[in-house]
């Protein structure tokens, strides 16, 4: 078995640093946000975030068995160490990669603090001073997610007029790009299992898209998410039906496992197609990019393996002239990690903001002004991620029954 543990001994004293502890806590926002803290003997600590949901804190705790005592500056080596040490736990994909993603971000943060550089500079370059955000919106009222299941509101909450009104509200907040969910409870009325859309279901979706376009015009970028719901033929029919509306993209039209099916859907329409958020590491996305099975690639850095792994995805996307727009349902911690990524990646396009309904979202950070202003986030110049957690707010919003840092 390969051994990614510390093998080198020649390092200057100021960079001879050790990890002393790794902690995780769960903040209950609109999702369960998994926050990670890496502590060191240098008097600095790093903050990161793994994708939402269960199992991550336990996996983070397990990594302490072999990461404590390691040098936090060796970010990419330590991520490979996690994959190798936990390969028997499904370490090349799934929740282990998710846990490693949050640890990796925290390592970049502490490395930046120790070296006195912002994370984007550690990643290699700065291509932009600010990152444009697109706002993930919900018609009428946001649907609730309870243990992975979607609980919709009454049907009238998803009328075309409700979509249009929310679009106007968000545009008036300063966003120049937005996205709505286009999968509805009514999709399952004919049959809840086969993923096939009736003509009426497609017509209803067309009415929604038309209403939003009529309200906000074509100067605003507009996307719709379908959450992997449809059969290939229904995905193709829907995408073709919406071609006239010049969408930014249609996202996750079909289930994610079958690359050939995804390629078939993408090639069938002039509507740009986006996907990629629930794939792990670059190996699960390469075929999609090299076969042009996607027009916009949307990996989630808190899922895919971290910032460096997302840059590997971005490199392959750039080879194929495909833009990168990361999926992001994070707290401000994961969001700011993605902002540094956006500064460092040439083919970066937009970043998702998915917490409009969380009125204390900004309060998680110690700062005087909102992170998002006029639809963009400024790239920080402070060392590391350039943010400081307000741990009192973290404690206030901990998931019931869990403890903080």
372-391 pLDDT tens trace = 999 999 999 999 999 999 99
Reference 248, options 366, 346, 163, 352; nearest CA is 352
Phi, psi of 28 (to 5 degrees): -95, 95
Report how far residue 242's alpha carbon sits from residue 209's, in angstroms, rounded to the nearest whole number.
Answer: 8
Positions of E strands within 55-129: none
| pLDDT for the residue 158 | 83
111-152 pLDDT tens trace = 999 999 999 999 999 999 999 999 999 886 655 555 555 566
User: Are 318 and 346 spatial neighbours (Cβ–Cβ below 8 Å)?
Assistant: yes
Pairing, β 19-28 against β 32-40: antiparallel
Report how far residue 302's alpha carbon sits from residue 80's, in angstroms, rounded to the nearest whole number.
Answer: 16
Task: For the chain, list residues with pLDDT below 70.
Answer: 140-152
> Domain ranges in the chain?
13-117, 122-381
| pLDDT for the residue 91 | 72
Partners of 24 in beta bridges = 36
Token pair 């950070």 is at which residue?
365
3-state secondary structure of 9: coil
| pLDDT for the residue 144 | 55
Homologous superfamily assigned to 13-117: Enolase-like, N-terminal domain (3.30.390.10)
CA max distance for the chain: 69
Q: Does 122-381 carry CATH code 3.20.20.120?
A: yes
| pLDDT for the residue 92 | 79
| pLDDT for the residue 140 | 62
């Amino acid at each position: 078995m390969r051994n990614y543990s510390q093998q080198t001994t020649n390092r200057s004293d100021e960079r001879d640093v050790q990890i002393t502890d790794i902690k995780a806590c769960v903040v209950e926002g609109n999702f369960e946000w998994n926050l990670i803290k890496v502590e060191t003997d240098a008097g600095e600590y790093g903050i990161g975030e793994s994708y939402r949901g269960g199992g991550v804190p336990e996996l983070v705790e397990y990594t302490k068995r072999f990461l404590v005592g390691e040098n936090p500056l060796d970010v990419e080596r330590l991520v490979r160490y996690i994959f190798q040490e936990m390969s028997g736990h499904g370490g090349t994909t799934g929740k282990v990669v998710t846990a490693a993603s949050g640890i990796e971000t925290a390592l970049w943060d502490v490395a930046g603090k120790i070296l006195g550089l912002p994370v984007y500079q550690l990643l290699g370059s700065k291509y932009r001073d600010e990152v444009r955000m697109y706002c993930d919106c919900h018609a009428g009222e946001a649907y609730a997610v309870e243990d992975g299941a979607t609980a919709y509101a009454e049907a009238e909450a998803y009328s075309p007029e409700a979509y249009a009104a929310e679009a106007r509200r968000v545009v008036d907040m300063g966003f120049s790009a937005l996205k709505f969910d286009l999968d509805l409870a009514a999709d399952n009325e004919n049959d809840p299992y086969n993923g096939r859309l009736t003509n009426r279901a497609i017509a209803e979706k067309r009415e929604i898209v038309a209403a939003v376009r009529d309200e906000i015009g074509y100067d605003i970028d507009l996307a719709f998410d379908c959450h992997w719901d449809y059969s290939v033929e229904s995905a193709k029919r829907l995408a073709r039906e919406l071609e006239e509306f010049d969408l930014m993209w249609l996202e996750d039209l079909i289930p994610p496992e079958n690359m050939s099916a995804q390629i078939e859907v993408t090639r069938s329409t002039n509507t740009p197609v986006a996907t990629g958020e629930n794939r792990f590491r670059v190996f699960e996305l390469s075929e999609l990019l090299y076969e042009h099975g996607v027009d916009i690639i949307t990996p989630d850095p808190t899922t895919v393996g971290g910032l460096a792994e997302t840059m590997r995805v971005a490199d392959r996307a750039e080879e194929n002239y495909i833009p990168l727009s990361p999926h992001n349902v994070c707290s401000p911690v994961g969001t700011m990690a993605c902002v540094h990524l956006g500064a460092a990646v040439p083919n970066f396009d937009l970043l998702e903001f998915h917490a409009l309904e969380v009125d204390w979202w900004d309060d998680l950070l110690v700062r005087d002004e909102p992170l998002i202003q006029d639809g963009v986030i400024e790239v920080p110049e402070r060392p590391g991620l350039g943010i400081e957690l307000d741990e009192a707010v973290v404690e206030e919003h901990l998931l019931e029954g869990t403890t903080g840092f």
